[in-house]
Structure formats: structure tokens, C-alpha cells
Structure 1
Amino acid sequence: MNPLFDLTGQVALVTGASRGLGQTFARALARSGADLILTARRRESLADFAVEITAMGRRAVSLDLDVRDEASIQRMAAEAQQAFGNIDILVNNAGCNVRKPALDVTWDDWNLILDTNLRGTFFVAQAIARGMIDRGYGRIINIGSVTSVFGYAGLAPYGASRGGVRQLTMSLADDWGRHGVTVNCLAPGWFKTAQNQVLYENQEWVEYLTDRIPVKRPGRPDDLEGVVVFLASESSRYITGQTLLIDGGISVGATRATVPPKEAK
């Protein structure tokens, strides 16, 4: 394995690892040699996945974590430290969404999304960074979204939370860079996940979306594997405070300036 991407002997903590992209990130890190701390609101939901990780020859520990609860974050950080000692990599993945027109968003909707995606991201990073700073080394990967830089109707609080993650990433990078800790934001574009699966059942919408993506397809989970390993590894040592969009190019704007020629029949 290329030493620039080899994570052997390192410990990675992935939040929100019971399903979806959280598991994609964890698998990629395990394949590159990292041992895993997996978290979810209910650790029982991680049982099968932990078995999968150990079958790859890696150590895996499952912990309860509710990122909306400060005591839960502190307890998880202490248990993670006790289980493995040093934590080298944090993937701040836990998140949620509520899709509604802006006029229908409730006070509780807003609090749920912002408390999970933004406040939770900060306080998990803070709790884990303490040990990284003491050691003088760490890789923090906050999971953002194409909505970190783009606005979409029906996603007002979600976009606000993900835009906040981007700004938070830059601030923490400046705060902790002198201590050997890099902080970056991995921002997926349109990927089919458990949260948005219903959208992908609408073929008309999928065709509309695909037309706006320069590479002409939505993302697949394996499109994210290389980039999470890159940001977690030695190869990214001089990169911090950045938002890396893995979006097939939809963030270029994807609005036609000319009428496409008709295909010959």
C-alpha cells in the first residue's frame, strides 16, 4: 500500500455509522488499515456492521452517541479514549434533514436540524480534538453537502446547517492547525441515501437532476471512498480549512448558456 494513503495502526471514529454514507466512510478507512470506533444513537444498530469490520481484520468498538446531547458526547469521547487510547481521525458524519417549503418549517424542525448537523458537529469535534491537540496530530473530516455552497428550495434549515459546517471547518482549521490537527469538509453532491431515497423513486426528477450534473449521473457511495482516505491520510498533510465537493460537477452551475443541438435520428 502507498504509505501516503496507509492508515495502518491508526484509529478512526465515525459518527452516524449505522447506515448509508457513514458506513461507506468507515469501510474505506478500514480497508486502508484503520481500526474503527463506530457510533450511533443505538449501539445495537451497529452490531452487524461491527462484525463486518472485524472480518476485515480490524478492531471495531461500537458506542452510543446522541450528538444533540452534551452529556452523550462527553461520555462517548471518554469511552472512545478508554477503548483505544489515541484517536487519529474523526469523521463527523451524523446528520439529519427535514424537507419542507420554507413557510412550513417549524421551530422544532429548525432545532432538530441545526442541533444535529451544526451544533453536534462542533461539540463532537471539540471533544475529540482535545486528545489530538495533546498529541500534536489529528485529522478531522466534517461532512458537509453541496448545500454548503448552493441554495435549494425546500432545504432552508438543512442548507443553513451545512453552510455553517463549511464556515466552522475554516474556523477550526485556523484554531487547531498550529497543533498538527487538520480540519476539512467533505461535501457530497446528490447521492441516493436512506434520507432521500423517496426522491430517487421519481424518474422524472432523476432525469432532471442527471441533466444538471456534468458527468451525467448521481453519485455512488464508492465515489466517496478515495477522498475520505485522502483527507484522513498523510497525503493531505498540507490541506486544511477546505471544502472538497464530490458532486459530479453540479456546483459549476449547470445552467445551459446555449441550446443543445438536436441529435440526428
Structure 2
Amino acid sequence: MNREAPMQAASGRGALAGRRVLYTGASGGLGHQTTLDLLAAGAEVFALDRDHSKNQSLLAHTPKDAANRLHLLELDLTDQPALEVGLAEITAQAPLDVLINNAAIYPSKPFEAFTMEELRLVHQVNVEAALICTRAALPGMRDLGWGRIINVTSITLTGGWENLAPYVQSKGSLLGLTRAWAREFGKWGITCNAIAPGAFPTDAEKIHPDPEGYRKFVLDHQAVKRRGTPHDIAAAILFLASDGAGFITGQNLAVDGGWNMT
């Protein structure tokens, strides 16, 4: 079945009306507001996050008229059999239109201090979960002849940070998968792009020992002299998930205030 949807605006209310979206890490620092923006655009969102308190906060901030389109899934991405069962239940109801692979962990210490178990854990959460989600979403998207896969990579791929080797490795893997999937899935009307957030003020930033010094460091590197907000990420996601982005695939969009201009 090839579903031809009417052209929608790239953002704003109704832009994703009727679209079913799976979003991993949906209640976190960037995910919370982006999920609310997806709901405001009319999407039905399956928000996957294991943090109960953050999930409850997301639920509390969801407008009443959108609550029936938000489905909270408290799944641990390291429990791959449970993840596969949960995804099978979702896709059995109807195909997914949009998949956002966002969930990640970011332990910070010198490379030599990581055990192999710790390195594998980062890969399992940051990469293997994306593989499993994509495998689950792909058949329905292929049948529809329409789909959007969005992988969240990172500004750290530019090499400006140390003590994050497994995290950077995982984001590099996602970028490679973005390009491979774009090439392979394009014939079915499925696009695959990545978004590389800059240095946003989220929980990840709290690991820095000098927050004010880090803020200055960020603004000195950006062309735009303000900190990014979750709405900036949401705007990019809404565009790449829209009908209007149907001729864009295999790209890594930097949402970083002009830090990295490649």
C-alpha cells in the first residue's frame, strides 16, 4: 500500500496529524519538550523512556486534548527481549510512520578506565536499541510506501570533547547507519536523516565541573550567541518528519547555533 498523504506544513499544528511516532528517550532533557511539540503538531506519540519520574513529568505537562495521543512505555533498552515484545505490540496495531532514535547514555571518564562491559553497555543502549526499533518499524513503513527515520547523533563527532570515547563511537555508528539506511530504504519512500545537537543545557551538561566556564566555552564557539532550547531540536525533527522533507535523506543536520559549519 502506498499512502499518499496531502502536503502538510513542515511545522506547526496539524503538520503531523495522523502520524504514529515512536520516540526513544522521549522524556529526557531534549525529548520532553520535543514530545510535547510532536503532540501539538497532531502526532500520536509512543514515548519510550525507562525513567518513571520523567515520564510522569511529561504526562503532567501534556495538554488534556492531547493526552489520548501520548502512550508512555517504560522499557529498559538493555532488556532487548522486552523491547522487541513492546515494539511488536505497537506495530501490530498499525504501522509506524516516524521513528526517532534518540535514547543514549553518556558515561564520562578516560578511555582506559572503561571496562569492556561498560563499552558494550553504551553500544547496546545507543546503537543496538536503534537497530531493534528500526527493524520493528521498517516492514510497516515499507508497506505504506512512506516513512521517516531520524537518528540523533552529536556535535561530539567533531572531536572537541575528551573522556567520551564510547559515546562518540556510538554516535559515529548511528551516522553510518543513517547513510546506509537512507541508501537502502529510499526505494520504498522512506527517508533516514540524522540530527546532531550542539551543546544544549541538559542533564548531560551537569557532568561538567565548571558550568559557568563551560557556558562561556559554548557561546564562544557558536555563531548564534544564545543557548539552544529543546524547541530548536523539535523544529528540526518536525521538518524532517514532514512530507516537505521527502527529498532529503542521508543527511546529518547540525542544530548547534553555527558551531560546526561543514
TM-score normalised by length of structure 2: 0.87
In structure 2, relative to structure 1, the CA distance for the partners of 1:45 and 1:72 (3 Å cut) is farther
1:67 aligns with 2:77: yes
Structure 2: gaps of 5 or more residues: 1-6
Superposition pairs for residues 187-202 of structure 1, below 5 Å? 187-199=196-208, 202=211
Distance 1:24 1:126 in 2: 26
Runs of 4+ in 1 over 6 A off after TM superposition: none
- Candidates 81, 86, 92, aligned match of 2:91: 81
| Amino-acid identity (%) | 32
Q: What residue is the counterpart of 1:142 in the other structure?
A: 151
Deviation of 1:45 after TM superposition, in Å, equals 4.9
In structure 2, relative to structure 1, the CA distance for the partners of 1:198 and 1:156 (3 Å cut) is closer
Deviation of 1:51 after TM superposition, in Å, equals 4.9
Do 1:189 and 1:246's aligned partners in 2 also have CA atoms closer than 8 Å?
yes
Q: CA RMSD in A?
A: 2.1
1:232 aligns with 2:255: no
- SS of equivalent to 1:131: helix
Q: What residue is the counterpart of 2:134 in the other structure?
A: 125
Distance 2:44 2:230 in 1: 20
Do 1:31 and 1:56's aligned partners in 2 also have CA atoms closer than 8 Å?
no
- Candidates 240, 249, 255, aligned match of 2:258: 249
Deviation of 1:109 after TM superposition, in Å, equals 2.2
Q: What residue is the counterpart of 2:45 in the other structure?
A: 36
- Candidates 171, 176, 180, aligned match of 1:167: 176
1:207 aligns with 2:212: no
**Structure with higher RCO (Cα < 8 A, 6+ apart):** 2
Deviation of 1:150 after TM superposition, in Å, equals 3.4
TM-score normalised by length of structure 1: 0.86
Higher alpha-carbon deviation: 39-48 or 155-164: 39-48
Deviation of 1:16 after TM superposition, in Å, equals 1.2
**Higher Cα Rg, which structure:** 1
Structure 1: gaps of 5 or more residues: 254-265
